[in-house]
Structure 1
């Protein structure tokens, strides 16, 4: 309704207790702002969650993914960063092996990791010096080595 307090600055989510149709114009009466987090807490059993783009986060030291939370087709939260290991432990483990260990993107003071970094740098230097590729194995092959 034009006289409503929420008409001046409409919130992203709105609840109207009554809907009024006057000559083809629809008005909401008794309006209130709604926070999507409130819906998420109260209707947790009805929510649909989808996860996209699992990746290794060097800053957080974990495999993360983007979560989208929906309720009956309405998106409550989009691109929320969440830990991925609870959703798919096997895929999170594979991503950890390939992106953290095989590419040496793990920020930890481990002897084998610093040795691996030196070996990778040396292999890259030799490849550049000889101007040929193939000395360095792909990250997937190195990850298979770490997997055992």
Structure 2
């Protein structure tokens, strides 16, 4: 058996953030890092953040936090992060961090994201009615302006635009 577990340990549904310290990510091949981060992200969707104009990050539901100064990502300042824990001392710090991509969040939280559509119009090149899509999760903008086929979203409006053009 490669990773032995006790029967008592298997019955515990959640692990503490310090259990993540036992996973030595540096020893794994780089191709596995993204897979591990995506797996962790599925349980940490409320602990994501997007870098703002200053050194602060904006998290879920408007939370403002900073990267913990002892973190390896502190100097890198990635655009998007997830953290295993948020600790409040003199200010709110995110610890045990990993850089993430907003596309990962969108695919993992498809059932939680809000999609807004705007500017539906006829696109002659594809012969479809298209619109721009804005995707948000807990107030964070994952996708600001993505062109999508609008026909399945609102067939009545799409038909009207098709007839007009």
* 1:12 partnered with 2:79: yes
Q: Compared with structure 1, are the counterparts of its residues 21 and 72 closer, same or farther at alpha carbon in structure 2 (3 Å cutoff)?
A: closer
> What is the 5 A alignment of 1:74-93?
74-93=140-159
**Shift of residue 60, structure 1, vs aligned partner:** 2.3
* 1:53 partnered with 2:151: no
Give me the TM-score of the superposition, normalised by structure 1: 0.58
Residues 47-78 of structure 1: CA deviation (Å, up to 9, x unaligned): 21110000111222211100111222222211
Give the paired residue count. 98
SS of structure 2 residue aligned to 1:31: strand
Q: Compared with structure 1, are the counterparts of its residues 92 and 4 closer, same or farther at alpha carbon in structure 2 (3 Å cutoff)?
A: same
Distance in 2 between residues matched to 1:71 and 1:26, nearest whole Å? 21
2:102 aligns with 36
Structure 1 spans left out of the alignment, 5+ residues: 100-148
2:25 aligns with none
Give me the TM-score of the superposition, normalised by structure 2: 0.53
Larger Rg computed on CA atoms: 1
2:160 aligns with 94
**Superposition CA RMSD, Å:** 1.8
Distance in 2 between residues matched to 1:49 and 1:21, nearest whole Å? 32
Distance in 1 between residues matched to 2:137 and 2:115, nearest whole Å? 9
Larger helix proportion of the pair: 1
**Shift of residue 8, structure 1, vs aligned partner:** 2.2
